[in-house]
Amino acid sequence: MRKVTKLLKVIFLIPFSIGNSEERSVCAMDGSCSAVVLFTCLVSIMLVVVGTFSGLHRFNEVSMKVIWGLLVTLVTVGTFNICLNLILLHSRRFRITSPRVETDASTKLQLRFLWLFGIGLLLRTSLTIATDIECVVQGFVASYIASIFSSAMMIVFIISEIRLITYMYKHKLKFVRSAWIYYAIGIVLLANASVWFNFAAIGIAGILHRTDTNLSIDHNSFDVDTSVFLDKGNMKTFSWLHGIVKTILLPFSSGTSPTAQPDESNMNEEISPTLTFAHLVSCFCIVLGIYSGKQTTDDTARAIVWGLVMGLVSCGVIALVVLIFSNSVIIPQSENTETKDYSMNLRIIFLWLFGLAVILQSAVNFAIDLECVQKFPEENIIYIGFLSSSVLVLFIILQMGAITYFRNHYFNKSVQINFAVVFISLANFGLWFNSVVSNLNDTYTTNPNISHMIIFKNATSCYFDSKIQHALNSKLTPFLLPTRMEFFILASSFFISFWHSSSKQQNCHSRVISEELIHGVCDETTALLPRSTENRASHVFAIMISIFLSLPTFLTWLLLSFVYKDDSDHLNTAYEICHCFNSLAIIVIVYITFDNLSRRYIIRENHRPLTTSETILVFSSAGVVAYSTYGLLFALQSQVSEHMAALFRNIFWILETFLQTSLLIQCQRYVLSEKRSKLLSSFALVITITNLINWFLYSVYQNGPTEGRELIVGNKRNWAYVKTILVPLLIFYRFTSAMNSYSLYNQIKP
């Protein structure tokens, strides 16, 4: 029994309790990063499951039973965990008194609204119970008794949740960091998110059902009378214009006072641009999402998309020029601290490779435009394509050059940095989002020459009928589309790190090198360690292990890609089994690494938030988990023995993603420079090579054994949307995991 208990503790508690100090210090980093990764993975799974079964296409009796069982389970477990939290609060071991003297007015107001919203939800649930009781009286007993039970559990869940929150704020209590607390709070948050998303999905499905049959869009209703905007007059005084510009820039320049002290933690210069980026991304998602799908069938939509995308790219080019020639003081990192990111040079190499791939696709589009000019020399609108391709290539080249040149520099706080990073990142996002939607539209467009196309009719038909499009571009796009996403995310992460360094650069001056080697540096890099020429045998052995783990998957990929393309059911099963073997090996390696870290290394006592690269790693891992959940649902619904391998493959894949992400983030919270480890460095090298091989396979072989999964989301078009969005995230997750594990390998190798 003791061995079973120890095994369960290793499986379920080590990734969360790793780093707990014996004194139970509140400031210690004791697994909260793992809790963030776990919550992200579980939310991704729940979004896929609830969104699939609550949607319009799958809303039937089976779907209702699945949703009911899932939500009742989550609400029941959430209620149990809330009661557990209330019990733990009465134990002095799991609580501390908050140092706050009085609860602030904003929190008190939020508590009042929490009670109001809770009463409203209780009223809605009570009405549901009354309706179910009426149905039971009429004779429909079996199904409605279950509904009454679920509503009753919802009421208990709401009341207990409100009680817990009110009790904690009333008595000014906080939980001590513990793995049990992480589990309990995470499950409660997951239950809240699932219930909310279920309500939203059912509401959207109902709206679509009501409007799907009688929805007709009048294209002329989008015409805008621009004469209203053109007749406003011009500014006659330069001071008025200067005042307007100064007023617009005020939210961005707040917090950048030259009188600010270096130790002041003023974050205003990051908050305003962050909000600007989030709001502009929301606006552009809606506009591009609506018009990008119609740009091959409607002149107005194509003009809007072209103007918006080219406007973003032009702003990005201007922002890059401003960043390069900015008056802000640029200080090389090597002059202040002995810091270096070991994966920096490798990231730069891949950035150039991805950038060259994007330039290649732009060059192919340029060649298609040349072919169209020969067919329709009188069409001036075709020359716009030349301008678009040229500006895009300039934007890509400037990004690669700026990142390569400034990769080891800090930037002083300035409005230029804030604006530059926001608009460069926004342009990258707009280009990627438009390319995804446009690719899906091109794939499913059968007749682009319909009546609404007048101005762009010849250009659109020439594009689809081009020999270059059929012979080259259509074959390159499946491989280059994920590369575009990888380039734009990687480039944006570099610029965001420049942005963060502008607010952290001042704190670097006050730190000595010895303190940095112990507690880490203020930038998103790690201490520069001397290279070692010893213990190469273990590294060679690690490379051999990596090749051994990836060789079966690589061989089955070769056979599926070039030999057995038609009749390959058994080979697909072998492909899934090889992936299971690979994922299981990585899981074992991660657990051994966790165990060594918890026993041999000490954790830093300062709570460090997630860095830019770690946030991107968590975000991309959510895409991997969502994609695996689709495969899991497909395997569960297929009822075919051959798909059991796919079932276990996706389960192991989800576990591998969570554990690997948690490990790569947790390792940066440890003091690794004091004890070099041959074993841990070998494991890090295995994870690096395995991720790079999988990254290559997923980039080249994207149409793996996924036939039939479109039935989960309704049809092949919906599945194409899901795959086009999630597969690039899967590919980028493998890449960024390889970069982070490579950095870990260089930190800890003997």
> Mean pLDDT across the stretch 428-442?
76
**For residue 459, what pLDDT is reported?**
60
Conformational region of residue 364, where left means phi above 0, alpha means psi within -120 to 50, and beta covers everything else:
alpha
Query: Is 713 a residue whose pLDDT tops 80?
Result: no
Q: Say how many C-beta atoms besides its own lie within 10 A of residue 576's C-beta.
A: 25
Q: Is the dihedral angle over the CA atoms 344, 345, 346, 348 positive or is it negative?
A: positive
Q: How confident is the model at residue 446 (pLDDT cuts 50, 70, 90)?
A: very low
Supply the mean pLDDT for the chain.
70
pLDDT tens for residues 239-271?
566 566 565 555 555 444 444 444 443 444 555
> Mean pLDDT across the stretch 506-518?
39
pLDDT tens for residues 465-490?
677 776 676 677 777 777 887 888 88
389 close to 366: Cβ distance less than 8 angstroms: yes
Render 196-239 in DSSP notation, one character per residue. Answer: HHHHHHHHHHHHHHHHTTT----GGGG---THHHHTS-----HH
Strands 95-97 and 330-332 come out as unpaired
157 close to 78: Cβ distance less than 8 angstroms: yes
Q: In this predicted structure, which of 96-110, 383-397, 630-644 has the lowest mean pLDDT?
A: 96-110
Return the H-helix or E-strand segment holding 410: strand 409-411
**For residue 84, what pLDDT is reported?**
74
| Residues contacting residue 462 through CB under 8 Å, at least 6 positions apart | 368, 371, 372, 375, 376, 382
Q: What's the rounded Cα separation, in Å, for the pair 117 and 128?
A: 17
Backbone angles phi, psi at 331, to 5 degrees: -115, 120
pLDDT tens for residues 159-194?
888 877 887 777 776 766 666 677 777 778 777 877
- The single-letter DSSP state of residue 102 is S
> Mean pLDDT across the stretch 564-585?
77
**For residue 555, what pLDDT is reported?**
82
Q: Say how many C-beta atoms besides its own lie within 10 A of residue 94's C-beta.
A: 19
pLDDT tens for residues 335-372?
443 345 667 888 888 889 888 888 888 888 778 777 77
Q: What's the rounded Cα separation, in Å, for the pair 154 and 179?
A: 26
Q: What's the rounded Cα separation, in Å, for the pair 329 and 258?
A: 13
pLDDT tens for residues 513-533?
333 333 333 343 333 333 444
> Mean pLDDT across the stretch 197-202?
71
Q: Say how many C-beta atoms besides its own lie within 10 A of residue 718's C-beta.
A: 14
**Nearest residue to 192 via CA among 81, 85, 86, 88:** 81
Show me where the domains of the chain are located: 2-208, 295-503, 537-748
Q: Is the dihedral angle over the CA atoms 184, 186, 189, 191 positive or is it negative?
A: negative
What radius of gyration, in Å, describes the C-alpha atoms of the chain?
Answer: 28
- HSE (side-chain half, CA atoms, 13 Å) at 501: 26
More confident residue, 444 or 116: 116
End-to-end CA distance of the chain: 39
pLDDT tens for residues 218-229?
444 434 444 443
The encoded tokens of residue 61 equal 């009796």
> Mean pLDDT across the stretch 275-299?
69
Query: Is 215 a residue whose pLDDT tops 70?
Result: no
Backbone angles phi, psi at 233, to 5 degrees: 90, 165
Longest dimension (CA), the chain: 86
Task: Assign 331 to helix, strand or coil.
Answer: strand
| Residues contacting residue 515 through CB under 8 Å, at least 6 positions apart | none
**For residue 140, what pLDDT is reported?**
60
**For residue 206, what pLDDT is reported?**
61
More confident residue, 227 or 616: 616
**For residue 534, what pLDDT is reported?**
53
**For residue 131, what pLDDT is reported?**
78
416 close to 495: Cβ distance less than 8 angstroms: no
Query: Is 385 a residue whose pLDDT tops 80?
Result: no
**Nearest residue to 431 via CA among 549, 525, 261, 317:** 317
Highest mean pLDDT out of 66-70, 170-174, 215-219, 683-687: 683-687
Cα distances (angstroms) measured from residue 419 to each of 235, 398, 513? 24, 16, 32
More confident residue, 579 or 201: 579
Does pTM surpass 0.95?
no
Highest mean pLDDT out of 80-89, 271-280, 635-644: 80-89
Residue in this structure with the two tokens 């409660």, named with its chain if needed: 188
Q: How confident is the model at residue 499 (pLDDT cuts 50, 70, 90)?
A: low
Q: What's the rounded Cα separation, in Å, for the pair 433 and 440?
A: 11
Task: Assign 589 to helix, strand or coil.
Answer: helix
